Amino acid sequence: MTATRTVRIGSSHGLHARPAKLFAQAAKDSGIAVTIAKDSGKAVNAASILGVIALAIEFGDYVTLTADGENAEGVLDTLTELLTTDHDQESAG
């Protein structure tokens, strides 16, 4: 099963090192193939922290997630929550 979702980035500094690492780790831990693309750009492996950082995703950008495998919707729910949370705000607290 394949699921796709478009998400707006909530981290005030975008997907830099810490949020990108959290996101890539969660994508990897899902055990299924997940890609992320910025706007209409090329999709990259969401489990690759370097690939994710290379997209230079900023606060407010829209990204498209695609998951392919069992529980694809559930995986996208988890990843969407990570992307819409402002991790920079949490660490500043």
CATH number at 81 reads 3.30.1340.10
Global pTM value: 0.91
Q: How far apart are CA 4 and CA 43, in angstroms?
A: 12
* Crossing angle between the packed helical segments 72-84 and 17-29, to the nearest 10 degrees: 170
Measured in whole angstroms, the distance separating CA 93 from the mean position of its chain's CA atoms is 23
Known active-site residue 87: no
Query: 54-88: per-residue pLDDT in tens?
Result: 999 999 999 999 999 999 999 999 999 999 998 76
Query: 18-36: per-residue pLDDT in tens?
Result: 899 999 999 999 999 999 9
Strand partners, 35: 45, 66
Q: Which of 13, 16, 21, 28 is catalytic?
A: 16
Q: How far apart are CA 90 and CA 38, in angstroms?
A: 24
Structural domains in the chain (count): 1
Q: Where in the sequence is the domain holding 86, given as residue range(s)?
A: 2-92
